[in-house]
Structure 1
Amino acid sequence: MARSSPLRVLGWTVGAFVAVLLIAVVVISVTLSPERLRSTLVSRTSEATGLPVRLDEARLSYSPPGIRLRGLEIGANGSTPHATLDSGLLEFDLGPLLSRRLVVRRLELERPDVVLAPSAATATSNSRPREGGGSPPASDLTTVIEQVRVTNGAFRWEAPGDSADFSLEGLDLAARVEIEAGGQVVRTDGDLSLASLNLPALEAWRDTVERMEPRLAFTLQWSGPEGAATFDALRLEASPLLLEAQGALRGMPEAPEIELALAPRTYELSDLLPLIPSGAWPEGRRPRASGPVRLQAQVHGPLGGPTAPAWEADIELQGAQLSMEGFPEALQELNGSIAATADTIRVADLSGRIDGRDVSLAGWVSDPGLPTSRYDVAIRGDADLATWTQTGLLPAGVRLAGDAKLDLTATGVAAEPTTAKLAGEITLANGSYESDELRQPVTELNGRATLHGTDATLSDVSGRIGSSPFRGHGSVTDLLGAPHVSFDGTSSRLDLRELAPPVPAPAAGGTAVGAPTTVNAAAPSSPPLVPPLPVVPTRVHLAVDSLFTEGAVMTGVTMNADLRVDEGDVTAHFARAELATVTLERFDSELTIAGATANGTFRAPRVQAQNAPLTDVTGRFRIDEKSLLQVDDIAGTLWNGHVVGNARVDLADRLDPAFEIESQATGLDANGMLSAMTPARNLLHGSLDLSSSFSGRGATPEQVLAALTGQGNVKATSGRIEATPAVQRAWQALGLSERETIPFRDLVAPFSFRDGRLVTEDLVVHAPDANWSVNGSVGVNGDLDYRATTELSEQLSDEMRRKAGRDLANLLAGSSGRLIVDLRIHGDAKAPKVDLDRTKLAQRIAENAKQNVQKELEKGKDKLLQQLFGSDSAAADTTKAPKLDDALKGLLKRK
């Protein structure tokens, strides 16, 4: 079934009312009764429309001649079509009828309400009077309606299928109508206004349309044979718009088509922009505009179908200004043209200036707003990145600056942004990047990004982070989809302390240097040891001359990293690394990062840990999310022996790390170890086995020594003690000065380290001439404080018995019968002092004497000492210590 346009149906409605009134004129001569007039009008209108008709009242008027109607209803209530009329008036001249010309002085319709659907309207328009009934066609009758007035009318179009309904309310019409050839030709002109236009597509614009108070002035002509209405002039006044157009409606009623051309006109942007609903703009981004804009448009295509007619519009900007809330700089001197249709927007050389910098846009967008929308746009220009910092579009805490030059094109489908194809270049000069996540801004940033398809090539990249310069090149693949970054860079100096995010200072009352050490107990004052993985897969090759971290300096660094979103693999080589008190040379490491943890292995041909020179060192390590470094299976060569161990280092505070170390060593060179770790150089030769555990904290040797504690055991076999100044003085006290070394079979010594001193407990040396037992300590400053007990061999003991007599010499004998002498070694290790331990010697003599000849010794103690040691004073009282010392030296001096 063919569909009619709303205008055709509206014409039918007006014609129906006119027909009713014309029929009434015909029947005037038949009857003057109002009831007869009403029934006749109802019958003839129903016959003409094929619909039920109700009319409350119909009356004739004679001066001037006319008909008044009240309460007219055509069609059943709730059905389609349906029309109602509160009241109507038709006044006409009878005289012109003689010349077959009907002149209607006035046609008034009060509150007409019409509801139509295309199929019903077409069926009604095709209805014909019954055979033999009604008036004959008046093809040669000319009708002129001098004044048509419609007040507060309403019209609703019920569209079929997926087409949208629409309605007009508050319609007022004032027009003149001329009808010829029985309605085949109609000419009309007049004014039309409406209070409300309800169309789903314009729902967001409802308030705007009503505020504009649209009023239409028209001049049109209808040609029945052609089924066409020609608009000689249409003038729409909708403040601030004034639109003038010409066109036609053709193909009515079966297939109506519209053709309408809008005359070009220049408007002021500041007047047009407020017409756009506020909801069309993002929150806080409402634009402001000024300047002239020239518009022209045309509409053409079928009406009443499932698709809207086609339209084209040309917009020409002539030096306009455009700004937006949140953007500090306006787009100025905007010139160019935009061609828009229902399915395409084309921009040709749209150019302007932002902050004095040129920018231009060109290209097209098809099917805007639909999933099938495609685009091909090009943007060129210069930009100050500092402007974007002030827009609020960047993440919180991010600030940009610098000069960017863009020359880009983009093509693709709006619904598939990851498949967009890009081409062109972005060049950055003297840029900077600041973020609350960085301790130092990135400055002097330069580079160029060349875009091709979905990939980008980065070249000539350079910049500086604090005191750390860098340069390099790279690439990004699948830029808008699942990007993968690759970067090759170099730096003469890279300070990781300037890259890490700021961290709050540790809480007051932290552990002081020298206090008991607990690994992982310090409040963190450094960033995590394992940096976060990137948000996109990244491959990095980095060569750095000098790399700095908190408490570490590394030189000759080469690093390769393959980082994914959830894990990453890193290999690194350092020509030299200084980590707190440890120095590594040609250090290599491989590690796997997972979240905030890392696991890996390392190897280094040479490691200097304090004074311990290790070689061929290997091990494995783990770093947890709290920056606790666990190093296991450490193995290496140390002082010609083999050492293994484990370590735990808490690096949560890189300025005050805490550590625990456990180690076992076999076959160490005794002189090498003592010379490196103590002031006792060239003292002990032999092979040492060592087990120890140490803990401490600090980032410098001084801090480590102040806080270091530990304990262990040392055992040496088949060695010798060299004639150092301390040993020579001990030998002299024992009468062994002619010996250059003291060979021994074994040496066993538990030891500990605390308060900056190496403490020896029950060090035992088994030698041919004597067995030694030593207790005491040596400080890191070389301060000695030892007490030695020497048990002479049988040979030396016998010589002393022959010299002083057996009974007297036995006063120095131990349980084995060998003579025992006590010494005190003190002073500086470079110039030690060795004295007889007078107190212990006197105690020993007194104890032996008490056991053997207690009574005799008590009676003649002074005489005994004089005979034994050759002194004038034999008193054993400690107050006579100097003379006792001389006596002991006389006894022990060999002849």
Structure 2
Amino acid sequence: MPAATPRRRWLRWTLIALAVLVLLPAAGLAVLLLTFDPNNQKPRIQAAVEAATGRSLALGDIGVKLALAPTLTVEDVALANAPGGSRPQMATIRRVEVELALLPLLSRRVEVRRLVLRSPDILLETDAAGRPNWAFAPPGRPAAPAPQAAPASAAREADPRLGIAVDRVELTDGQVAWRDGRTGATRGLAIPRLESRADTAGALRLNGQLALNGIPVALSGETGPLDRLTDPAAATPWPLRLALEAAGARLAAEGAIARPMQMRGWQMAVEARVPELQKLAPLLPDAPLPPLRDLALTAKLDEASVSDLRLTLGAAVLDAVLPGLRLASLTATLPRQDQPLALEVEAALNDVPLRLAGTLGAPGLLLPGAAPQPFPVDLGLAVAGATGTAKGAIADLRRLAGVDLALSFRAPDLAPLAPLAGAPLPPVRDLALDMRLAERTPGFAGGAFLRGLRIASSAGDAAGDLTYVIGQRQGVDGALTSTRLDLDALRPPPAAPAAAAPAAPPPPADRRAIPDVKLPLEALRIIDGDLRWQIGSLVAQGVTLRQVQARLSVQNGRARLDPFAAQMPGGPVTLRAAADLTTTPPTVQVAAQSPGLDLAPLLAALGQVPPQATGQLGLDADLRGQGADLRTVAGTAHGHLGLSVVRGTLTGSLLEKLPTDLRRLLPGGVSGRDIPLRCLALRFQAEDGMAQSRALLVDTALGRLGGEGGANLKTEALAFRLLPDLRLGGIELRAPINIAGTMRAPRIGVSPEAAIAGGLGAFLSLQSTPDRSLQALAGALGGGGPALPDCEAQLAIARGGQPGAAPAALPTPTPAHPTPAPAQGLPAPAQELLRGLFGRGR
């Protein structure tokens, strides 16, 4: 027992020593906390913050709550904004609470058991020059650059001096606002609640509710320990798992960051599910979102690459992108960013199914700093029985330069594609189109080159090289050749008649014959181009033209079609046309020449079916005028128009279309019979809209009709005096005819004196020895008159002195083909005269 006494003493003194070592510092610290006034430290804290940031710091009351884990509170914290900011404070916090572990302070470790931020309000903004308000610097010195990572040895030396750990953070009623000083755009993030807790291993678990631009966002996640985040010497990556949910969408990311302070060495697996993309539009107000649905995305990301990407989309109505577009599905896959992107799309446009599939170049070629490499393209399109492909490469995709794509399109029948065009398409079959596409300037800003263009179809073919120019004016330059081109086959079928609408009041009657049609001249202000086309056979309005050569050039508001030359039925024709918008009003000119054309097919092409005249048509025209519509141009016309027809016929139905007053002068029995035409010669000279006849003669089997006169093309007033020289069954009748009125409503009349003179002439023509006194009376009354010129002389004037076919001799009447005779013996004027002479009443 005596030996035990020294042991008890040793244990007692040991306990006393431990008590002294523990209780005395604790008592001293307790005395310090009881006598310490933290408000006395405000000036030192404020000065230190201002020296470090260049901003003033306002602090309210600072309090200390004594406990085994003391709590420090600070009221009304406010940090000043940058000079010129939109409000005085950059950040304010209504209350800050910091609960500290006491004993770790003895080893220079700060362990925050609980950090509470009440109503923090932070403004992040830039000024008009783009300078951010979060760039801090002492007065008179620029903001210090971001500190470089310290060597691991230095970190190990510094770490024992001070360590910080946070177990729990609570944030309530927070606000974070962003303002762009250049544009004035603002965004706001509300933080009703945000909480983080550290588990026993130090990992932080996050949970909170946010609201971005009024859209609630749920946040959850887990990160590594906070002290590991600030430890550059740590050997293991800092883990991170986050999930965001908003408007039914979910975004999740899981991975790790090797050097979190520098955001280097990170890798993440990302997964997104978005039932309706447009519901996220308030979160991204500067990025218009298409109405996509059922979006699913998975990918692996790191700071240098993207891999295992898969994007799918479900059915969606995309009228906002293109009216009538319906997406059925879309799938895009990318094994690695340096491999091609595979694409497959199923959709419908105006209920026409279409499918797009193929590959595009590696997206890695688009990353900043990537060396320019060719971007391959291999896409195929299938739509309504038609197929198309685009194959080739783009040398520099960022600038869209070096484009070399082979484009092709095949369509067995264009009709099924009509819903895509929104209008009926021509009934063209077996369409094949091939060409190579290249940019004229980077990004196609200056247009495109279409090289090796080849088109073949049931309506014809074309081949050549074209350049589509974009600039101040747009247009096409190039040359094409065609073996055959059928313009009639390129006309779409007539659209179905629309439902009958309520009858609108009839427009006011237009008493003019020349239509008030606006000429398509304004396009010349925005178009430049030079197109040459050679066509072996051209069909238009049922007329076949051969060996067609045409050149259309437009430059700086001046257009010229010169030449247009072709072999038409009957002979060659040349046409020149020009328009000049640099004058006010615009100037228009048309010239055409042909020694002889087949008249019947031309009339059929103009809609006269069956043709009411035949023969060889000669054309010599050169007219110009000023104005933006046809009526104004006609009213200012200068030049000449010459028409000649030989070796033809006039149908009886054509005579029925003559005005009633003129038809009454014709004998009965003419209607319904073809009348041989020896010649027709017309030539008018126009000066400032006044057209005067230079040649006017029609020579038929019934006789001749000549005369002179003119027309005012401004008012359409007529003033003609015609002299018929008819031969009807051995009777000659010449009674001058006056034509007045307008083109739309001509007035035709025969004066009483002329009628009497014509009757006398007809009576005298029946006598074997005409009475000289009656002949003199007929001449005095206006009968007879100057002899009409012959065909040859009038044709020479109408043709402008150019050679042409000679008129054929009229057929000699035979019993089988007699010359039409008057139904009642003599024309009406002769009958009237004879009744008066012999005293017969009506």
TM-score of the superposition, structure 1-length normalised? Answer: 0.53
Shift in CA distance, 542/106, structure 1 to aligned 2, threshold 3 Å = same
Structure 1 residue matching 2:550: 3-state secondary structure = strand
Match of 2:219 in 1: 214
Whole-angstrom distance in 1 between the partners of 2:49 and 2:485: 99
Question: If you compute each CA radius of gyration, which structure gives the higher value, 1 or 2?
Answer: 1
Q: Establish whether residue 472 from structure 1 lines up as the match of residue 462 from structure 2.
A: yes
Q: 1:459 aligns with which of 454, 474, 483?
A: 454
Match of 1:383 in 2: 382
Match of 1:679 in 2: 702
Q: 2:683 aligns with which of 641, 645, 649?
A: 645
Measure how far apart 1:236 and its partner are: 0.8
Whole-angstrom distance in 2 between the partners of 1:118 and 1:86: 23
Measure how far apart 1:726 and its partner are: 3.6
Match of 2:804 in 1: none
Q: Establish whether residue 66 from structure 1 lines up as the match of residue 73 from structure 2.
A: no
Structure 1 residue matching 2:702: 3-state secondary structure = coil
Give the aligned residue type for 1:679. Answer: L
Measure how far apart 1:752 and its partner are: 3.1
Q: 2:694 aligns with which of 663, 686, 700?
A: 663
Alignment map for 1:666-815 (pairs within 5 Å) = 676-679=699-702, 691-693=707-709, 711-712=721-722, 726=730, 751-752=736-737, 775-776=757-758, 785-787=762-764
Whole-angstrom distance in 1 between the partners of 2:278 and 2:831: 110
Q: CA RMSD in A?
A: 6.9
Q: Which moved more, 1:217-226 or 1:73-82?
A: 73-82
Shift in CA distance, 415/291, structure 1 to aligned 2, threshold 3 Å = closer
Shift in CA distance, 73/541, structure 1 to aligned 2, threshold 3 Å = same
Shift in CA distance, 540/530, structure 1 to aligned 2, threshold 3 Å = farther
Output one character per residue of 1:422-455: Cα deviation in whole Å (capped at 9) or x when no partner.
Answer: 4443344422476999997422251213114232
Alignment map for 1:203-602 (pairs within 5 Å) = 206-207=212-213, 211-220=216-225, 221-222=227-228, 226=232, 231-239=237-245, 240-249=250-259, 256-263=262-269, 265=271, 267-270=272-275, 274-275=279-280, 286-290=290-294, 292-299=296-303, 312-314=305-307, 316-317=309-310, 320-321=313-314, 323-326=316-319, 327-332=324-329, 334-337=331-334, 348-354=341-347, 355=353, 357-363=355-361, 376=375, 378-384=377-383, 403-409=386-392, 411=394, 421-432=404-415, 441-445=425-429, 446-453=431-438, 454-463=449-458, 469-478=459-468, 482-484=475-477, 486-489=479-482, 491=484, 494-495=487-488, 520-521=512-513, 537=529, 538-544=531-537, 547-548=540-541, 556=546, 558-564=548-554, 566-573=558-565, 575-576=567-568, 585-593=571-579, 597-602=588-593
Measure how far apart 1:367 and its partner are: 6.1
Measure how far apart 1:237 and its partner are: 2.1
Match of 1:174 in 2: 196
2:394 and 2:401 in contact (8 A); partners too: no
Measure how far apart 1:260 and its partner are: 1.7
Whole-angstrom distance in 2 between the partners of 1:532 and 1:725: 60
1:407 and 1:425 in contact (8 A); partners too: yes
Whole-angstrom distance in 2 between the partners of 1:77 and 1:608: 90
Whole-angstrom distance in 1 between the partners of 2:278 and 2:401: 33
1:750 and 1:762 in contact (8 A); partners too: no
Gap runs ≥5 in structure 2: 1-24, 84-88, 123-132, 149-156, 348-352, 439-448, 498-502, 582-586, 601-611, 648-677, 713-717, 740-745, 778-782, 784-818
Output one character per residue of 1:367-414: Cα deviation in whole Å (capped at 9) or x when no partner.
Answer: 6999x99994624112327xxxxxxxxxxxxxxxx6131224463778
Structure 2 residue matching 1:222: 3-state secondary structure = helix
Whole-angstrom distance in 2 between the partners of 1:477 and 1:323: 38
1:619 and 1:632 in contact (8 A); partners too: yes
Shift in CA distance, 752/435, structure 1 to aligned 2, threshold 3 Å = farther
Structure 2 residue matching 1:828: 3-state secondary structure = coil
Give the aligned residue type for 2:623. Answer: F
Measure how far apart 1:318 and its partner are: 6.7
Measure how far apart 1:314 and its partner are: 3.6
Gap runs ≥5 in structure 1: 1-23, 127-136, 179-186, 198-205, 300-310, 386-401, 464-468, 512-517, 578-583, 649-658, 666-672, 682-687, 697-707, 716-720, 731-747, 764-772, 779-783, 798-811, 817-821, 844-876, 882-895
Shift in CA distance, 725/188, structure 1 to aligned 2, threshold 3 Å = closer
Identity of aligned residues (%): 11
Shift in CA distance, 827/293, structure 1 to aligned 2, threshold 3 Å = closer
Measure how far apart 1:530 and its partner are: 10
Structure 1 residue matching 2:513: 3-state secondary structure = coil
Shift in CA distance, 40/34, structure 1 to aligned 2, threshold 3 Å = farther
TM-score of the superposition, structure 2-length normalised? Answer: 0.55
Give the aligned residue type for 1:297. Answer: L
1:749 and 1:760 in contact (8 A); partners too: no
Whole-angstrom distance in 2 between the partners of 1:225 and 1:562: 76
Match of 2:623 in 1: 621
Whole-angstrom distance in 2 between the partners of 1:758 and 1:124: 105
Match of 2:715 in 1: none
1:447 and 1:460 in contact (8 A); partners too: yes
Give the aligned residue type for 1:384. Answer: V
Output one character per residue of 1:304-334: Cα deviation in whole Å (capped at 9) or x when no partner.
Answer: xxxxxxx644462276536442254425362
Structure 1 residue matching 2:314: 3-state secondary structure = strand
1:408 and 1:426 in contact (8 A); partners too: no
Give the aligned residue type for 1:591. Answer: A
Shift in CA distance, 419/281, structure 1 to aligned 2, threshold 3 Å = farther
Q: Establish whether residue 190 from structure 1 lines up as the match of residue 204 from structure 2.
A: yes
Q: Establish whether residue 603 from structure 1 lines up as the match of residue 587 from structure 2.
A: no
1:291 and 1:319 in contact (8 A); partners too: yes
Match of 1:862 in 2: none
1:149 and 1:175 in contact (8 A); partners too: yes
Shift in CA distance, 260/90, structure 1 to aligned 2, threshold 3 Å = same
Match of 1:863 in 2: none
Output one character per residue of 1:525-582: Cα deviation in whole Å (capped at 9) or x when no partner.
Answer: x997999879663433334465328xxx5665735232437513143445556xxxxx
Shift in CA distance, 878/829, structure 1 to aligned 2, threshold 3 Å = closer
1:421 and 1:452 in contact (8 A); partners too: yes
Whole-angstrom distance in 1 between the partners of 2:144 and 2:523: 73
Structure 1 residue matching 2:630: 3-state secondary structure = coil
Whole-angstrom distance in 2 between the partners of 1:842 and 1:495: 59
Q: Establish whether residue 90 from structure 1 lines up as the match of residue 74 from structure 2.
A: no
Structure 2 residue matching 1:213: 3-state secondary structure = strand
Of Structure 1 and Structure 2, the greater strand share is in 1
Whole-angstrom distance in 1 between the partners of 2:422 and 2:102: 93
